[in-house]
């Protein structure tokens, strides 16, 4: 007997028997599972054993060659999928398919351990290989489902199916783990086999659901490849199941059940590889479209950039012209402002000159009054008059140095003047100044001696010609934030009668006070662009007789921000 043949066949035992002797051998078997072992014993002579081994090698040649080819194809495809995974931004479709191929190779490799390198890993640990049988199948199913989810983009297109497959995968993982732990610790193979049919039913149903949903609802160009690959795998498994019950589809080839599973997976790999190639083609086309769109956008951006530059040049030119025009306008405005300022200074000088003209006019009239008392030889009144006149004169001289004074000071000087004149005419008239409540005399600024000429005119040309005592009323009211109104009203003889009398006390001299005041108001209007002015009204009784005069004076004012001291 050839010892090398025996070493290569662990199912044989070498016996040496002398001729003519009779021996009885008892075979005992031990199984960790609760299944009864089926043992068949045969005795071969040396020559018969060699013939048997030769036939066995010949029958298994196709099977072994197919297994080696399958293992090589799976290894190459798995490594290629890992390469694509790292090359294509870690797309999980490649990683999940590589995992599926890895578990498929482990599952089929355990069944072919006599011919493959897995024998060096597991050796003769038949029980360990038995307990890994179910978990590896569920690992294949789980990785297949994950591959289908990414390959068909189900999460985006069919969210409900994605959630269903996710929980089915959770069930696969839990069942595979519990199956391994239970069988390894209890050796209860009967329970595992009892669960074989329902678990395979779930796997088959899940596969059919994916195939039907993909074929009926999804419009992806990779769907035909997925359906063809999945059907190839299912057909290979069905052929493997049928062949295990003794049906030989290809007599003479001695193909076993695992061979049909290998063929089914190999065909599946071909279709899935074509589908993945289609995905890569679609991805490349999308990248090309994106690149074309990017290039087109760059060209469009270039055109837009040129257009924007042209518009910017036009805008810069327009802006430059605008700046130059604004500069010219500014220069013209400065020149105009200088002219306006110069004219304003001229008008203010004119106003100042007119204001200064009021001082000698007022002093002249006051000296005439003092002269009047002296001629009457009324020394006491002349002395009192001179005292009042001195006080009033100091106030007038102080105010004449200022462009504006507070209305409070203006009214104070006016009342002193009216008291001065009332004494002069022996209380021939009484006077009253009425200021409205909304007029703040401390903060309103007016030109000095702006009211006095009208009061003087009312006294000298109206009230002094009355036989009875007269009345002079001055009302002050505010029109708006920039104007104030004075009403000077007397019950004198009226303008017509005064013109006839031409009072001898004035010696027929012409009054310049109103002319100067009119000029001052006109100059103020030019400076302040205001509406200052006055109107004179004659008053009559019910019979048409003159009973006095009313002057309405509108004056420009400025509101002082702080309280006047």
Q: How far apart are the first and last CA of the chain?
A: 143
The pair phi, psi for residue 95, each rounded to 5°, is -65, -40
The pair phi, psi for residue 44, each rounded to 5°, is -120, 145
pLDDT (mean) for 115-128: 54
* 3-class secondary structure per residue, 185-230: HHCCHHHHHHCHHHHHHHHHHHHHHHHHHHHHCCCCCCHHHHHHHH
For position 433, what pLDDT does the model report?
93
Residue 354 scores a pLDDT above 50: no
pTM: 0.46
For position 564, what pLDDT does the model report?
43
Do 389 and 364 contact (CB within 8 A), yes or no?
A: no
Angle of helix 257-375 relative to helix 513-528, nearest 10 degrees?
170
Query: Which H or E run includes 109?
Result: helix 92-111
pLDDT (mean) for 409-421: 86
More confident residue, 458 or 368: 458
**Domains in the chain, please, with CATH?**
72-220 (no CATH), 376-559 (3.30.565.10)
- How far is Cα 557 from Cα 565, in angstroms, rounded to an integer? 18
Residue 114 scores a pLDDT above 50: no
Tens of pLDDT, residue by residue over 220-253, are: 788 888 888 888 888 877 777 776 655 555 555 5
Tens of pLDDT, residue by residue over 527-557, are: 777 788 889 998 988 888 888 999 999 988 8
For position 565, what pLDDT does the model report?
44
Structure-derived torsion over alpha carbons of residues 479, 483, 489, 495, reported in degrees to the nearest 10: -130
- How far is Cα 85 from Cα 78, in angstroms, rounded to an integer? 11
For position 326, what pLDDT does the model report?
82
- How far is Cα 98 from Cα 271, in angstroms, rounded to an integer? 15
Tens of pLDDT, residue by residue over 455-497, are: 888 888 888 888 888 899 999 998 888 889 999 999 988 888 8
Do 476 and 412 contact (CB within 8 A), yes or no?
A: no
Q: Which DSSP string do the residues of 510-546 spell out, in sequence order?
A: PP-HHHHHHHHHHHHHHHH----EEEEEEEE-TTS-E
How much of the chain, in percent, has pLDDT values that exceed 90? 5
Question: By mean pLDDT, which of 6-10, 91-95, 273-277, 369-373 is the weakest?
Answer: 6-10
3-state secondary structure of 472: strand
For position 347, what pLDDT does the model report?
52
More confident residue, 376 or 447: 447
For position 435, what pLDDT does the model report?
92
How much of the chain, in percent, has pLDDT values that exceed 70? 72
Tens of pLDDT, residue by residue over 171-212, are: 889 988 998 888 888 877 778 778 877 887 787 788 788 888
- How far is Cα 268 from Cα 168, in angstroms, rounded to an integer? 22
CA distances from 376 to 410, 467, 469 (A): 32, 20, 21
Tens of pLDDT, residue by residue over 132-168, are: 888 888 898 898 888 888 888 888 888 888 888 889 8
Tens of pLDDT, residue by residue over 41-75, are: 677 666 777 766 666 665 555 556 666 777 777 78
Tokens of 319: 């802006």
Pairing of strands 483-490, 533-540: unpaired
Q: What single-letter DSSP state applies at residue 449?
A: T
Q: What average pLDDT is seen over the chain?
A: 76
Pairing of strands 470-480, 429-435: parallel
Q: What single-letter DSSP state applies at residue 505?
A: G
For position 239, what pLDDT does the model report?
76
The sheet with strand 558-559 has its strands ordered as 405-406, 444-446, 558-559
For position 30, what pLDDT does the model report?
52
For position 112, what pLDDT does the model report?
59
Who contacts 384 (Cβ-Cβ below 8 Å, separation ≥6)?
A: 423
CA distances from 287 to 154, 283, 357 (A): 22, 6, 96
Beta partners for 536?
A: 551
More confident residue, 254 or 320: 320
């Amino acid at each position: 007997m050839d010892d090398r043949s025996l070493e290569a066949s662990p199912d044989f035992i070498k016996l040496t028997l002398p001729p003519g002797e009779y021996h009885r051998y008892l075979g005992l078997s031990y199984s960790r599972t609760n299944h009864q072992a089926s043992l068949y014993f045969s005795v071969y002579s040396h020559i018969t054993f060699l013939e048997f081994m030769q036939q066995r090698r010949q029958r298994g040649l196709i099977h072994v060659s197919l297994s080696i080819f399958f293992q090589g194809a799976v290894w190459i495809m798995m490594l290629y999928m890992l390469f694509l995974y790292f090359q294509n931004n870690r797309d999980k479709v490649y990683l999940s398919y590589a995992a599926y191929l890895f578990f498929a190779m482990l599952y089929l490799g355990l069944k072919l351990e006599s011919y493959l390198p897995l024998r060096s890993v597991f050796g003769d640990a038949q029980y360990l290989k038995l307990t890994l049988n179910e978990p590896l199948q569920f690992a294949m199913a789980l990785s297949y489902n994950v591959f289908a989810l990414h390959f068909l983009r189900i999460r985006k297109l069919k969210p409900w199916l994605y959630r269903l497959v996710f929980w089915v995968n959770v069930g696969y993982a839990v069942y595979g783990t519990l199956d391994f732990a239970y069988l390894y610790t209890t050796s209860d193979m009967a329970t595992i086999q009892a669960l074989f049919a329902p678990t395979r039913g779930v796997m088959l149903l899940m596969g059919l659901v994916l195939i039907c949903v993909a074929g009926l609802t999804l419009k992806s160009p990779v769907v035909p490849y997925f359906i063809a690959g999945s059907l190839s795998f299912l057909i290979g498994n069905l052929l493997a199941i049928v062949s295990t019950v003794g049906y030989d589809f290809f007599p003479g080839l001695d193909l076993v059940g695992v061979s049909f599973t290998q063929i089914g997976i190999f065909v599946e790999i071909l279709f899935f590889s074509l589908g993945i190639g289609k995905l890569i083609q679609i991805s490349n086309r999308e990248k090309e479209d994106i690149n074309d769109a990017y290039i087109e956008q760059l060209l469009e951006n270039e055109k837009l950039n040129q257009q924007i530059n042209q518009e910017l040049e036009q805008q810069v030119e327009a802006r430059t012209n605008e700046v130059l025009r604004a500069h010219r306008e500014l220069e013209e405005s400065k020149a105009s402002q200088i002219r306006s300022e110069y004219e304003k200074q001229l008008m203010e000088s004119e106003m100042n000159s007119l204001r200064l003209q009021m001082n000698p006019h007022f002093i002249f009239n006051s000296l005439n009054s003092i002269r009047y008392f002296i001629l009457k030889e009324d020394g006491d009144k002349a002395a009192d008059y001179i005292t009042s006149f001195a006080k009033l004169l100091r106030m007038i001289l102080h105010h004449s140095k200022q462009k504006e004074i507070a209305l409070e000071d203006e009214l104070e000087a006016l009342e002193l003047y009216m008291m001065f004149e009332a004494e002069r005419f022996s209380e021939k008239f009484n006077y009253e100044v009425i200021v409205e409540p909304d007029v703040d005399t401390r903060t309103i600024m007016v030109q000095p001696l702006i009211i006095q000429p009208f009061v003087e005119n009312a006294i000298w040309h109206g009230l002094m010609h009355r036989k009875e005592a007269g009345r002079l009323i001055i009302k002050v009211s505010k029109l708006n934030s920039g104007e104030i109104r004075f009403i000077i009203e007397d019950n004198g003889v009226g303008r017509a009668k005064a013109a006839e009398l031409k009072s001898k006390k004035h010696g027929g001299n012409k009054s310049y006070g109103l002319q100067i005041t009119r000029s001052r108001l006109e100059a103020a209007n030019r400076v302040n662009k205001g509406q200052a002015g006055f109107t004179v009204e004659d008053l009559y009784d019910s019979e048409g007789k003159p009973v006095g005069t009313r002057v309405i004076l509108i004056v420009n004012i400025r509101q002082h921000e702080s309280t006047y001291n």
